[in-house]
Structure 1
Amino acid sequence: MNQDRSALLRALLAGSAIWAGLGAAPALAQAEAGDVAGFTEAEDIVVTARRREESLKDVPISVTAFSANALDLQGAPDITALQRSTPNLTLQVSRGTNSTLTAFIRGIGQQDPLWGFEPGVGLYVDDVYVARPQGAVLDIFDIERIEVLRGPQGTLYGRNTIGGAVKYVTKRLGDEFSGKIRGEVGTYGEYNLIGSVAVPLADGISVGAAVAWYNRDGFGKNRFTGAETNNKDVLSGRLSLELTPSDAIFIRLAADRTEDKSNTNHGHREVREPNSNTAVLPGRYDTLAGLGDANEVVTQGLSLTGEWQVSKALTLKSITAWRDGHSGGTGIDFDGTPAPYLDVAANGTVYKDRQFSQEFQALIETDRLQGVIGVYYLDARASGAFDTILGRGLVPEAVLVPAPSAATALSQLTSGSVDTRSFAIFGDVNFDISDRLKISAGARWTRDKKEGVVFKANYFGTIGSPLIKPYVPALPAPFNVPQILTDYTNERTFSEFTPRVSLTWEASDAVNLYAAYGRGFKSGGFDMRGDATATPDTKNGYDAEIVDSYEIGLKGDFLDGRFRMNAALFYTDYQGQQVTTQVPKVTPPPGVVSFVDNVGSSRIYGAEIEATAILSRNLSANFSFGYTNAKFNEFLVYDLVTGKYVDVADQRSFQNTPEFNGSVSLNWQADLAGGRVAVVPSLSFRSDVHLFEIPIPSIDQDGYALADLSVTWTSPDTRWRLGAHGRNLFDVAYRTGGYNFPSNQFAQSVIGFYGPPRTFRLSAEYRF
């Protein structure tokens, strides 16, 4: 891995030298001015990172903004594509799923999507906080822009944004009839249909709808069942009603629903199963899993947003939202074989969540004072259940007294729920000390109250437990009486004050310098997998995480607006990091013990550079670079043998956090057939990545680079757009996740989950 890191570093330096030879520097946003007429200067980008509309240059926060047009020209299929061109960002499909999101920013996030765990990067859809990562791999359609906010956003966005936030902003309908329809075909039998329409019914009343239907054959195959793996079968839709009875009032009622029926992703065995002569399957998307393939994830929501401009200085805003989701399917076959050596069965509905939130804001805008104050409330519940099945013959008969002669399988039921009620008061105000000097100060007080219910038990001589179907007892009563491991209900309250302050100096009309401090907070909770017989402290839950972040940055336009650069240096003090560890149980009966620890403390520092350069009327260039140096100062783990905590900081690394990452892309445009053609080649790279805090060579991912190419043609009247998009052109194999249970009792269950292979897609869009 060190050789790969050195090679990547040499490639980076070489690329920087080439870039310097081109006379341009690294960059942030796609220049879209003159999308049809040619490039003239970098477009001014408006964002709502501080809950109000501002020029990106004026925001003392590290923000990357992507417009709908920029993402379309790049051929970005979903929000995981943002990882390729955003510094220090990890957005990937979680291991063992098709639509659950793993998100990390600057080394901070949460990989484990189990119900009850909180993400470290907040996801917002039209200012509505999406509390759970299930169904959060959002396809990109009918949007206005996407913003990625790096660093803790604990003041304005609050809970669970200690790493940052991703804002998915959809388009407003407006008061004119409009719409578009788009068809796509591609490799692996891909065919997609996307459409949207906005219809004004009367003055100040408009309705709109957007539908997206995605279909793709699998990248691989289940060689045991014949089913496809890594396929896509998704139907998503939105409905909205907008009312503008006057210039001062805006009301939007919006509903959305997404159904994902893609097959279960069991992963690929990385080592040979020792109990047979079966070789490791050559295809990285293939499996021999015998657990089954059916899967379904449904997410839906309803929101009501109202804005009232009371005066030029004051606007009141209300955001009311309800969301609901459930996941059902067969689970994950960890051993990747037809036999149940290590299966996690979840037949039926394994996961449910629902949330209600209410937010009130008062936005202030005067000549020298701008800001927002508000209150926030969340009522949420998440629950689920699954069986961990250890196949027949794996449990020693001595475990059962008296020992029967029947097959001795073992199933371990894990089930529970977490109820959360959160309340917060917040405010952030910017004051112009002078024409060149501005100070911004904000704070948030958050109180989270959580109730956890956890039940865990072993069922001997069974395939499955009574809660998860099918339930197949292999032993008669009383030998199938469960061994209860965990059975408790507990309640905890977490509260925190999270301030933020920044100072901005306008060195010139085009260049801003800033320094900022911010605190982030992620509440604690209860481990739904906790085994109270092995780790008694699990009943007490785990504590909150706290992040203190310091940042200095520069944002500026140069060369008469033809070159834009944003740069930042940051340092983060990270306390109480929540880490999930799963290890084989050392005493019979065999099983997997999970525990969540506040492992101690760490420090993270790094740098980010983004820029856009307009090289000529027809050519622009973008560059991004991120560097993260993350190290644990203390990492305490629970020793199952001694029953004590041990500091192993020197043996641990940050997960999902490459030391280096970056991208470079060009946008060449020219007149063609009366319209405008755009050619966008891009190259992104990431250095070595650990998939867990413990380095695991068999599944950790070495550094890699991905090449993409998009070609689009837009008609003179901009009604038609034709596109050809190729992604991962060199078919690079790279893991995005994995599991590691290398013990013989688990049939050497070491599996990896891989990112998409080389794909090509053609698109045709008509706008009206």
Structure 2
Amino acid sequence: MNKFVKSALLTGAAISALTAPAVVAQAQEVSEQPAATQVEEVIVTARRREESLREVPVAVTALSSERLALTGAADVTVLQQQTPNATVQVARGSNSTLISFIRGVGQQDPLWGFDPGVGLYVDDVYVARPQGAVLDIFDIERIEVLRGPQGTLYGRNTIGGAIKYVTSRLAPEPELMLRGAVGSDGQLDMIASGSLPVGDYLRIGGAVASYNRDGFGQNLTTGADHYDKDVTAARVSAELAPTSNLFFRFAWDRVEDNSNARHGHREVAGAAPGADVLPGIYDTRSGLGDDNYVETEGLSLTAEWTINDMLTFKSITARRDGYTDTVIDFDGTPSPTLDIPAYYADDQFTQEFQLLFNGARWQGVAGVYYLDSHAEGAFDTVLGNLGVSIGTGGFVDTESYAVFADFNFDLSDRLRVAVGARYTEDDKTGFVNRATYLGAGQTPLTGGPAATPLVQNTLYTNSRSFSEFTPRISVSYDLNDDLTGYAAFSQGFKSGGFDMRGDALATPDTVDGYDPETVDSYELGLKGYAFDRRLTFSSALFYSDYQDQQVTTQVPTATGIASFVDNVGASTIYGAEFEGSLWLTDFLTANFAVGYLRAEFEEFIRYNLTTMQYEDISDLVVVQNSPRWSGYLGVTWTNDLLDGQLAITPSVSYRDDFSQFEFPNPILDQEAYALVDLSVVWTTPDQRWQLALHGKNLTDEEYRTGGYNFPGALFDNSISAFYGPPRTWTAALQMRF
């Protein structure tokens, strides 16, 4: 099936484009108003100011709230299906931790102190930690995915790209929306949102959502649901416009995740009782328990002052806090063979000032940015077969300062040049405490009884500073009124740091930390409209030189687990992307995306625990989470029905073979697969009532999204995998007042 789906999917966009002239001609013959089916102009804020997508010399996928609703998008992981060359999914062993890769660049490890490679922004506020970042989609305007390094305007940890979650502005009139959904596996979701004007200048509003679902599987040891969902989210905002040139927005949000802990499915049988391979991929026999709690909370204040027609001043002040208390049973058995109880905590304060310019033939933004963050945590590695537990704890404090500017100049009516740069300086202090204790139980680092370590593996505090200048330059040319081509060079930078798992006895250099990594990216693009503006598309060719790449690996040893975070060397990444929308007829629309990606290590320097030397093993490794082909094709048919409009959207997304880690593993690596979805949505003309039915993964495809690899007798062959959701159905009713 996958070969057929791949062929159909990856050629579907090209076939649509090639057949569009004939389809358009036919549609014009039968339609009295062909302009009604033209694709609307898409507005994005990829360069921190509102612009037409066609004019932005950046590869951007923009998904509106309407499109997300028509496809039944539940959370931000839907971006993986509809964005070329992107991996956006729930992290292994978690319910709401996000991992993201774009064009082969990202970070899988969500441990405190490790910086992501793809930046996440909620209304221009940077979310530094991935815990609780699998944002449910409600009360939003759109989501933008910026592909390629965005170091000039978005900072040090957008080396792969950025995801922008843009919430809705409050309505000028009183508004109330209620939505309820029921579905398979006991799904029950409730969402309410609304806004209310108070006088002429003030609007207040908010939204609250509750998401509940029984588990796809079961913990056969405790009887608890496994892969369930129990999430509550809320937002409150107030918008004040005392004069025509002043605007203030205060926003508060909170998410609580009480879903049960998620443990992996054993892929290989072990010797311990209950260590067999269960037939249900969502089942477990974990004896560590089901307790899991995640909370995130944020406050922000945005102020805008329109000084005159040319200048606007903007201030964004924000604070975010997060806490996670969880357990991960790596071995998936009642025995404490390899159990990991853990907690994470973080807080951050950010301040950004921007000055936006809008001249007759030039536009731009300049600003300063400050971040003060603290991330800490602790976890135990309980090794029952050795009768010991390794406690690991510590923190990382970060102060980051940056100045940036980006300007666009119209050299003629068709030719534009954009130049930008950012200077960033990070000051980091890390503390790492790693100790081995006798007994397979809780250590003092996670709240256990006081005890003297059997071995003090690591105990140090160190500080380092990292700085980088990241430029960007692009040239755009309007081939005609509908087509724009561009060429761009940009550089990304991800800060260095300290390995919170580092074992100084096994790897003495860990106390020195690791260096930053950089990407030099070159891109050619063509964007615009065709066929009487019935087709809108974006295409790009890119090449990236990835240097000093940070890679996290964990290696089993005779006495436990050794962790490495190394600047392993370099890789080259290149590929192509093509995405867009096409009005085939007055009643039929197609949305498509195709990505091609080649990523290869040129150098991979690894510390050999036996020889105690560094060696190049680039011929043994691959770039993780980088399928060669990815694609999406969705077709929406609309027609009038029962005094309303019916929209039916079948879709298919495809991901080629990919490796879960840098070291290929035939047990854990995922073969190519396709997901088939179907959505049926009926809406009244006044948008007051909406009925929807969404089916996901209709072929019930089994596919891995992550895994852990700890083979050998010491860990009882603890090779486990985590899987994406099975076939699900959801029926929803929405009312607006």
Q: TM-score range by the shorter chain?
A: over 0.9
Does the residue aligned with 1:421 lie in a helix, a strand or coil?
A: strand
How has the CA–CA distance of structure 1 residues 705 and 38 changed in structure 2, closer, same or farther, with 3 Å as cutoff?
A: farther
Q: Which residue of 2 aligns with 1:574?
A: 546
Shift in alpha-carbon separation, 1:169–1:341, aligned structure 2, 3 A: same
1:284 pairs with 2:284: no
Distance 1:485 1:600 in 2: 27
- Equivalent residues of 2:274, 2:285 under 8 A apart: no
Q: Say whether the 8 Å CA contact 2:631–2:653 is kept in structure 1.
A: yes
Cα deviation per residue 1:234-287 (whole Å; 9 max; x = unaligned)?
A: 000001111001111110011010000000001111111123475311111100
Taking the aligned partners of 2:349 and 2:66, their CA distance within structure 1 comes to: 33
Q: Deviations over 1:573-622 (max 9, x none)?
A: 00011001100114xxx201101000001100000000211111111111
Query: SS of the counterpart of 2:152?
Result: coil
Task: Pick one of 341, 352, 355 that aligns with 2:345.
Answer: 352
Change (3 A) 1:41 1:312: same
Please list, as runs of the form range in 1=range in 2, the aligned pairs for 1:73-92 lying within 5 A after superposition. Answer: 73-92=70-89
1:565 shift after superposition: 1.6
**Partners in 2 of 1:678 and 1:701 — Cα distance?**
33
The secondary structure found in structure 1 opposite 2:165 is strand
Query: Which residue identity does 1:452 align to in structure 2?
Result: G
**What is the alpha-carbon distance in structure 2 between the residues aligned to residue 683 and residue 279 of structure 1?**
34
CA offset at residue 22 of structure 1?
5.0
Deviation at 1:23, TM superposition (A): 3.5
Distance 1:324 1:166, change over 3 A: same
Match of residue 520, structure 2, among 525, 541, 548: 548
Query: Superposed, which structure 2 residues align to 1:573-722 within 5 Å?
Result: 573-586=545-558, 590-722=559-691
Alpha-carbon distance in 2 for matches of 1:449, 1:284: 44
Does residue 101 (structure 1) correspond to residue 113 (structure 2)? The answer is no
SS of corresponding position for 1:501 = strand
Amino acid at match of 1:164: G
In the alignment, is residue 387 of structure 1 matched against residue 380 of structure 2?
yes
Q: CA deviation at 1:213?
A: 0.4
Deviation at 1:702, TM superposition (A): 0.4
* Aligned counterpart for 1:537 among listed residues 485, 498, 509: 509
**CA-to-aligned-CA distance 1:512-567 (integer Å, 9 cap, x gap):** 00000000000000000000000000000000000000000000101111111210
2:185 match: secondary structure: coil
1:367 alignment counterpart: 360
| Aligned pair partner of 1:336 in 288, 309, 332 | 332
Distance 1:547 1:24, change over 3 A: farther
Q: Distance in 2 between matches of 1:45 and 1:136?
A: 26
Cα contact 2:226–2:282 (8 A) shared by 1: yes
Tell whether the 8 Å contact from 2:606 to 2:616 is kept in structure 1 after alignment. yes
Cα distance, 1:149 vs structure 2: 0.2
1:591 and 1:575 map into 2 onto residues whose CA distance is: 31
Q: What's 2:53 paired with? A: 56
Distance of 1:224 and 1:109 partners within structure 2: 36
Q: Secondary structure at the match of 1:744?
A: coil
Q: CA RMSD in A?
A: 1.9
Choose which of 116, 134, 137 in structure 2 pairs with 1:140.
137
User: How far, CA to CA, are the matches of 1:494 and 1:518 in structure 2?
Assistant: 19
Aligned to 1:417: 395
Runs of 4+ residues over 3 Å off in structure 1: 4-25, 275-278
Equivalent residue of 2:67, what SS? Answer: helix
Report the counterpart of residue 27 of structure 2 in structure 1.
none
- Deviations, residues 705-751 of structure 1 (Å, cap 9, x unaligned): 00000000001221001100000000000000000111111011000
- Residue 28 of structure 2 corresponds to none
Q: 1:508 aligns with which of 470, 480, 484?
A: 480
Percent of aligned pairs sharing the same letter: 57
Distance in 2 between the 1:621 and 1:279 partners?
Answer: 46
The answer as to whether partners of 2:13 and 2:633 remain within 8 angstroms in 1 is no
Q: Which deviations, in whole Å up to 9, do the C-alpha atoms of 1:683-708 show, x marking residues without a partner?
A: 00000010000001111000000000
Give the drift of 1:467.
2.8
Is the 1:38–1:618 Cα contact (8 Å) retained in structure 2?
no
Change in CA separation of 1:264 and 1:17 when aligned onto 2, cut-off 3 Å? same
Of 231, 242, 247, which aligns to 2:244?
247
- Shift of residue 470, structure 1, vs aligned partner: 5.0
- Quick one: distance in 1 between partners of 2:162 and 2:78? 16
Which residue is equivalent to 1:452? Answer: 430
Rate the CA distance shift 1:485–1:5 in 2: closer, same or farther, 3 A: farther
Question: What's the offset of the Cα at 1:175?
Answer: 2.3
Normalised by the size of structure 2, how large is the TM-score?
A: 0.97
Deviations 1:664-696 (A, max 9, x none): 110110000011000011000000010000001
> CA–CA distance in 2 between the matches of 1:461 and 1:617?
70
Aligned equivalent of 1:490? 462
SS state of the match for residue 698, structure 1?
A: coil
Paired with 2:51 and 2:198, the residues of 1 have a C-alpha distance of 31
Q: Deviations over 1:393-452 (max 9, x none)?
A: x23xxxxxxxxxxxxx10000000000000000000000000000000000000000000
Other structure's SS at 2:610 match: coil
Equivalent residue number for residue 25 of structure 2: none
Partner of 2:26: none
Structure 1's unaligned 5+ residue stretches are 26-33, 396-408
Q: CA offset at residue 5 of structure 1?
A: 8.8
User: Following the alignment from structure 2 to structure 1, what is the Cα–Cα distance between the partners of residues 309 and 35?
Assistant: 37
From 435, 444, 460, the counterpart of 2:413: 435
Q: Distance in 1 between matches of 2:480 and 2:134?
A: 40
Q: Return the letter of the residue paired with 1:421.
A: E
Match of 2:223 among 219, 223, 226: 226
Q: Give the conservation status (yes or no) of the 8 Å contact 1:39–1:614.
A: no
Letter in 2 for 1:53: E
1:259/1:296 contact within 8 Å kept: yes
Aligned residues: 729
Q: Residues 677, 378 of structure 1: CA spacing in aligned structure 2 closer, same or farther, 3 A cutoff?
A: same
Provide the C-alpha distance between the structure 2 equivalents of 1:103 and 1:632, rounded to a whole number of angstroms.
Answer: 20
Q: Is the 8 A contact 1:38 1:617 kept in 2?
A: no
* Cα separation, 2, equivalents of 1:274 and 1:646: 35
Change in 2 beyond 3 A, CA 1:203/1:16: closer
Instruction: State the 1:482 CA deviation.
Output: 3.1
| AA aligned opposite 1:176 | E
Question: Residues 454 and 711 of structure 1: is their aligned pair in 2 closer, same or farther, counting only changes over 3 Å?
Answer: same
Aligned to 2:211: 214
2:10 and 2:594 in contact (8 A); partners too: no
1:401 aligns with none
Q: Would you say 1:274 and 2:246 are equivalent positions?
A: no
1:149 aligns with 2:118: no
Q: Given residue 530 of structure 2, which amino acid in structure 1 is its aligned partner?
A: F
Q: Write the distance in 2 (CA, Å) between the matches of 1:161 and 1:430.
A: 21
Give 1:39 shift: 5.1
Partner of 1:374: helix, strand, or coil?
Answer: strand
Structure 2 distance, partners of 1:568, 1:725, is 32
Query: What is aligned with 2:530?
Result: 558
